[in-house]
Amino acid sequence: MATLVLHHQTSPAQDAEALHQAFKGWGSDGKAIIAILGHRNVHQRQEIRKAYEEIYQENLIKRLESEISGDFERAVYRWMLEPADRDAVLINVAIKNGPKEYHVIAEISSVLSAKELLAVRSAYHDRYKRSMEEDVAAHTTGHLRQLLVGLVSSYRYEGDEINVKLAQTEANILHESIKEKKANHEEVIRILTTRSKTQLVATFNRYRDEHGISITKKLVDQSSDDFVKVLHTVIRCINDPKKYYEKVLRNAIKKFGTDEDGLTRVIVTRAEKDLKDIKEIYYKRNSVHLEDDVSKEISGDYKKFILTLLGKQD
């Protein structure tokens, strides 16, 4: 859970006043914004939003959007939203950006618990006055549509029970479908969008034991069409989400021209959940601390803010 705490106990009203002060004059005081918001947990941030609106009759998030810009603004904006609302925004942006970002829809809907995903669907209704399912369906076609709509509308069972015989049967179905490439997509979609995560992990393990290769490695060998890419994301997120996030961060940092959207998404969404574990996996995999790699790739207030969320204050 969150390690972000107040260093000096202040009230939401005091924080709101300090932020208002930071907005005065030419250019806002990025350092002050980071010092306050980067050290407040999700509950405290929502209290600051309420206090700011009560005192100044102004929406704090809109004020922040007008005061700061670029990657810094996007990161602070997403950090200030409640988690379900933030995920709704991320999914909406991914839908609008098309196939290259469909993995974000798969990532969010596969990692969240059933109740968390239900809250995201509700937040999406409130924000966009449409359902998430209808927006996903309107922008996709064929098997990709079936898979993504199935993922965002699922409500998986979350018990620990495993049906060993079912795991064997469905590992075989997955194997046959991947082997034949285009055969039986409906069955793959049914399995991945309805089974519990515990059952699916058992199925993926069975696949590896039977065929001597993980299902994700087998998929990498396939044609990299949009359906297979989303399939790959779903399986990785269900199998080992922390390892998946480490790879997203590694790819975001190592690619030519840093992928700030990927970097921001993972750090902002996981900072109050499992970022500490993801950082450890990153160090084991890369023999360098995530903070040190991030420091070399980004700059300015955006860098200071991201490093603050990573627990390294400059």
Q: Which residues are annotated as a binding site for Ca(2+)?
A: 23, 25, 27, 67, 253, 255, 257, 297
User: In the block, which residue shows the tokens 């922008």?
Assistant: 139
The residues, ordered by sequence, that sit 6+ positions from 229 with a Cβ below 8 Å of its Cβ are 102, 103
Q: Which residues are annotated as a binding site?
A: 23, 25, 27, 67, 253, 255, 257, 297
Q: Which helix (H) or strand (E) holds 298?
A: none
Q: What are phi and psi of 139, to 5 degrees?
A: -105, 0
Ramachandran sector of residue 41 (left: φ over 0; alpha: ψ -120 to 50; beta: rest): beta
With CA atoms as reference, report the closest residue to 249 among 272, 275, 214, 273: 275
Give the burial class of 18: count Cβ atoms within 10 A of its Cβ; 0-12 exposed, 13-18 middle, 19 or more buried. Answer: middle
Query: Residues 40-65, buried b or exposed e (16+ Cβ, 10 A)?
Result: bbbebbebbbebbeeeeeeebeebbe
- DSSP structural state of residue 153: T
User: In the block, which residue shows the tokens 């996981």?
Assistant: 270
Alpha helices in 10-82, H assignment, sequence order:
12-22, 30-37, 42-56, 60-67, 70-80
Instruction: State the Cα–Cα distance between residues 87 and 108, nearest whole angstrom.
Output: 7
- DSSP structural state of residue 123: H
Q: Which helix (H) or strand (E) holds 208?
A: helix 197-211
